[in-house]
């Protein structure tokens, strides 16, 4: 039916039919709103369940900072734990679910160790299949040239910031490679543990220092890394 014909048909409809039509539209709109189907968010947000109000609430940088100050650790879902994980991937494979902020290390018998992570902010998310090319303990951080240019604090580390508790790469770094090429992305620790569960980085995967030390102790150089990220801005290795 053409738009004009449809308009003519609507205009010719009786008041009762128009009322019924309006009623159905309002009812459908209420249904969409009630079930959150009315709009598709362009960017996902992290939510945590508040047992006191029994509601899912937004978990952003501000909330996360307050939560960490109060509890000295991130919400339980983002803490290290063994979970069921049905996969044909070999033990030792790292699977990153960027949307849900989890990193899985595949274990035998359909299990995985799950860690909470922070990932790339909007426009910096990526997906792909890469591998651990090398690792480092208390790595040196060298700020990119553009950061040195705009940030006076970064300028003093233009030649490299030695490893330590204030270093942005934290306690360990796993350098991700595509073939023999460094992707410039890393899985690393952080001096800002309250950012676990958030979209905050420039594409690197950040973990609590304790967690990245644990992960580093369990993996081998060459380990396969699968990065899942709906709405990724970039794909690597596929």
Partner 1 sequence: MLMSLLQLRGPGVSATGVFMASLILLAGCASGPEPAPQEMARSSHQTAPADLQLLCASAAANSAGVEGARVLPVSSQQLDAGNYQVELDAAGSRMSCIIDGEGNVTSIQPS
Catalytically annotated residues:
188, 204
- Site residues for partner 1, 29-58, by CB under 8 A, read 30-31, 33-36, 41, 44-49, 51, 54-56
CA distances from 153 to 84, 113, 149, 150, 183 (A): 44, 37, 10, 9, 25
How far is residue 45's CA from residue 35's CA, in Å, rounded to a whole number? 17
Told to check if 108 binds partner 1 by CB under 8 A, we report: no
Minimum Å distance from CB 121 to partner 1?
A: 14
Told to check if 88 binds partner 1 by CB under 8 A, we report: yes
Binding characters for partner 1, 169-208, by CB under 8 A (x = yes):
----------------------------x-----------
Told to check if 115 binds partner 1 by CB under 8 A, we report: no
CA distances from 206 to 20, 25, 120, 225 (A): 54, 46, 9, 15
| Residue of 137, 125, 105, 144 whose CA lies nearest to 225 | 105
Output phi, psi for 120, to 5 deg: -65, 140
How far is residue 237's CA from residue 182's CA, in Å, rounded to a whole number? 11
How far is residue 172's CA from residue 115's CA, in Å, rounded to a whole number? 15
Q: Which of 10, 27, 71, 184 touches partner 1 by CB under 8 A?
A: 27
Told to check if 238 binds partner 1 by CB under 8 A, we report: yes
Told to check if 86 binds partner 1 by CB under 8 A, we report: yes
Told to check if 107 binds partner 1 by CB under 8 A, we report: no
Number of neighbours of residue 214 by Cβ within 10 angstroms: 17
Question: Residues interacting with partner 1, by CB under 8 A?
Answer: 15, 18-19, 22-23, 26-27, 30-31, 33-36, 41, 44-49, 51, 54-56, 59, 75-79, 81, 83-89, 95, 97, 99-102, 104, 112, 116, 127-129, 197, 226, 228, 230-232, 235, 237-238
């Amino acid at each position: 039916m053409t738009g004009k014909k449809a308009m003519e048909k609507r205009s010719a409809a009786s008041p009762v039919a128009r009322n019924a039509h309006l009623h159905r539209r309002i009812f459908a709109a209420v249904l969409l709103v009630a079930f959150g189907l009315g709009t598709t968010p362009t960017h996902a947000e992290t939510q945590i369940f508040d047992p006191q109000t029994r509601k899912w609430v937004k978990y952003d940088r501000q909330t996360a900072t307050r939560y960490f100050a109060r509890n000295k650790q991130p919400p339980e879902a983002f803490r290290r734990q063994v979970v069921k994980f049905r996969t044909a991937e070999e033990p030792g494979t790292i699977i990153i679910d960027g949307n849900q902020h989890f990193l899985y290390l595949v274990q035998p018998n359909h299990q995985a160790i799950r860690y909470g992570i922070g990932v790339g902010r909007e426009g910096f998310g990526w997906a792909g299949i890469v591998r651990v090319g090398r690792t480092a303990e208390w790595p040196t951080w060298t700020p990119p040239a553009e950061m040195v240019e705009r940030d006076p604090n970064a300028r003093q580390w233009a030649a490299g910031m030695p490893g330590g508790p204030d270093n942005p790469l934290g306690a360990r770094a796993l350098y991700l490679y595509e073939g023999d090429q460094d992707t410039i992305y890393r899985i690393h620790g952080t001096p800002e543990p309250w950012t676990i569960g958030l979209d905050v980085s420039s594409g690197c995967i950040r973990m609590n220092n304790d967690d990245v030390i644990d992960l580093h102790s369990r993996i081998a150089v060459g380990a396969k890394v699968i990065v899942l990220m709906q709405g990724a801005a970039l794909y690597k290795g596929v």
